Structures are given as structure tokens and as C-alpha cells.
Amino acid sequence: MRTILSIRGGGIRGIIPTCCLMKLESQLGGLTRDHIAYCAGASTGALLTAAVAAGVPAADILKIYTGRSKEIFTPTGAIADAKRIAEGYMYDPKNLRDVLVSVFGPAASWVVNDCPIGVMVAATAMNGHNWFFVRDNPRNARTTGSVKLVDAAVASACAPTYFDHWKIDAVGGQTLNFFDGGVGGTANPVYEACVEAFEFDAFTGADTRVIALGTGYYPGSNKPPSGLLGVISWTTSTLVDTSEDWASEAVDRQWPGILTDFNPLLPRDIDEADLSAIPALVTIGQQMAATLDWTKLIP
């Protein structure tokens, strides 16, 4: 059996699946990539996917979320809100890329084709077209394998109104601007991961298990948002959340029995850039990780 690991989007809430990967590495030994054949992600899940493929230990990934998020989510407070209204975004994605490069080591220069496991990173171009960055192979269009891994991850993580867009020059001979993976309906990338693996790669449903890790959810409210910033936050969060249910349900319908899905209920609505929630997210992640037995999930 081969394992596909799929990781949802959710900004700073990527702490939750990171804690689960720490449990995996503790139970099974080695790195996460040693135990899976394919990793897929969108938004913060794309950052995790790139880190897993690059061989970054999960404990080091957690240190990025808990210790270096301020380098990424800057400025904060009223200055960030004013910048969001005036410029349309709060954070510079170059800061995010710089952090990735500093921890990826030699893998910072990798293109997608260099990854030792299969990867799928979902990102939405500003022309409205969804792109799925995968290794080139004879069964696909071979248009994304030469894209740098860190650029694909940053493109997927640039949530509108949070980050400015990210430009990539070598996507099938085109120069494209990207805004996030979640806004295109792929914040839960599990269905696209299965399509890429089963339809455009050498995987089959008979020899594959799929494990999906979420970043937590909080039931929506029927109460209308208040003010411009409230509407902006609601719109962005809703775009990201729209794929949460249908993607997993679609996998269950098309490939019955292959998916195991984990996504915890959050105690409150936690914004993708709420750095004050880091301690609580670590606790939630550890609690979720404690329920997982990777020796049974990946025998």
C-alpha cells in the first residue's frame, strides 16, 4: 500500500497538522517523507507539503510557526488593517519565501521535479485558472515540474487581503500571478490530489490509502459581518472553507474506502493570521495528534 497525505489550508492553523506529523515521526522514526509516496497541500498545507518533500523534520516546521511567524505576519494591529484597506493586503510574501529558503537548505533551489516523493501544490492564478504543481511525467501535461518548489508553495499560500500576489515566470512558458490555493475552491486539496495521483500518475485505488489532515473548523454563523474589515474577513474565510465538505465527500463517492480524514472542531473562530492563538493551536494540535496511531494508519 502507498500513502497519499493531503493537508488543508488555514494559515497559522497549520500548527495542528504539524503536531500530527511530529507524532508520525515519533512513532515511525525518520522523516514524514520516508513513510508516504505523495503529499498534497493548499495554502498553509502547501507550505507543509513543500517542507515534507524537502525533508524538514516536523519539529523544525513547528518552530517556524511558533517562533518565526512574526517575520511573516508583519505588520500587525491597526497598521496592518490600514494597509489592508489602502493596498489590498497586509503582508509581503517575500518574507514568507525568505523564511522557507532559510530552513530548506539545499532543497531551497529545488524545482518540483527534484522532489523525492510525489507532490501536488494547488494555487489559483489571477486569471481564474487553477494550477496544480506536480512533477512532470508522461501522463500529464509536463508544464509545472520546472517551477521552483518554494515558489509554488508561496503562490499557494498568498491568501488575498492577507498577502500580495506572487509571480512565477516559468509555468508552461507563461508568466502568471497567483493568489492562494483556497480561493479557487481547493483549500481542501484531497480530491485534486487523488485526481492527479490516479488519473495522471501511476497510483491506483487498489494499492493506495489517503490520509487527510485539517487545520480545524468552526461552525459558521448566520449573523452578517459588520463593517468593511468584517466583510473582507468573512469573504476570504468563506472562500477558503467552501471546499471543506465537498472535496472529502467527492473522494468517498469516487474512490470508496480509501480516505481517512482528521479535522478537529475549534473552540472558537481562529483567524488565519491570529498569532495570539499560537499556544491554543499547539494544544489543539497535540490533542489531535494524541488520537492518532500512525502504526495503524501507515502499517
* 190-211 pLDDT per residue, tens: 999 999 999 999 999 899 999 9
3-state secondary structure of 1: coil
* HSE, side-chain direction, 13 A CA sphere, residue 25: 20
If you average pLDDT over residues 238-244, what whole number do you get?
Answer: 65
Q: Is the pLDDT of residue 179 over 70?
A: yes
* HSE, side-chain direction, 13 A CA sphere, residue 125: 14
Q: Is the pLDDT of residue 160 over 80?
A: yes
Q: Are strands 130-134 and 38-42 parallel, antiparallel or unpaired?
A: unpaired
Within 8 A by CB and 6+ apart from 209, the residues are 1, 2, 3, 4, 258, 260, 297, 298
> Each residue of 246-284: pLDDT tens digit?
899 999 999 999 999 999 999 998 999 999 999 999 999
**Mean residue pLDDT across the chain:** 93
Percent pLDDT > 70 in the chain is 97
State residue 290's pLDDT score.
98
Buried/exposed 113-134: b ≥16 CB within 10 Å, e otherwise: bbbebbbbbbbbbeeeeebbbb
All three cell numbers of 103: 530552513
